[in-house]
Amino acid sequence: MSLSEQTCIPCRGGIAALTADEIVPLAAQIDQWTVVRAHHLKKDFTCPDFASALAFVNAVGAIAEAQGHHPDITLAWGSVGVTIWTHKIDGLTESDFILAAKIDASARGPMSA
């Protein structure tokens, strides 16, 4: 099953963040996300205008609410930045990669990475 077809598992803390070796195969399954210091995922999306960027932010927000996993989002004219990590453990879990894949699936269309 692809990452975008899976469901995020809420983290209650008390687990270890993924190691660099565990991150590699998951990172290979998401499109153009940057893994920053094995701590978080970052990707910038471009949009044709502010309204499209805002609509994308709202789509990401709906995905985040449905998954119970919330990224940091920045909005500017024609661009959206998304940063993901599991705050409870201050690092990455598989759910972060699942959320990234779901965001990518929603971005296919008028936006590009």
pLDDT at residue 12 is higher than 90:
no
Query: Other C-beta atoms within 10 Å of 70: how many?
Result: 14
Here the tokens at position 99 are 């959320």
73, 67 Cβ separation under 8 angstroms: no
Closest to 83 in 3D by CA, of 44, 27, 37: 44
Q: In this predicted model, what pLDDT tens digit does every residue of 33-82 receive, in sequence order? A: 999 999 999 999 999 999 999 999 999 999 999 999 999 999 999 999 99
Instruction: Return the CA Rg of the chain.
Output: 13
The structural domains of the chain, ordered by start, are: 18-107 (3.30.1360.20)
Closest to 103 in 3D by CA, of 87, 86, 80: 80
pLDDT at residue 15 is higher than 60:
yes
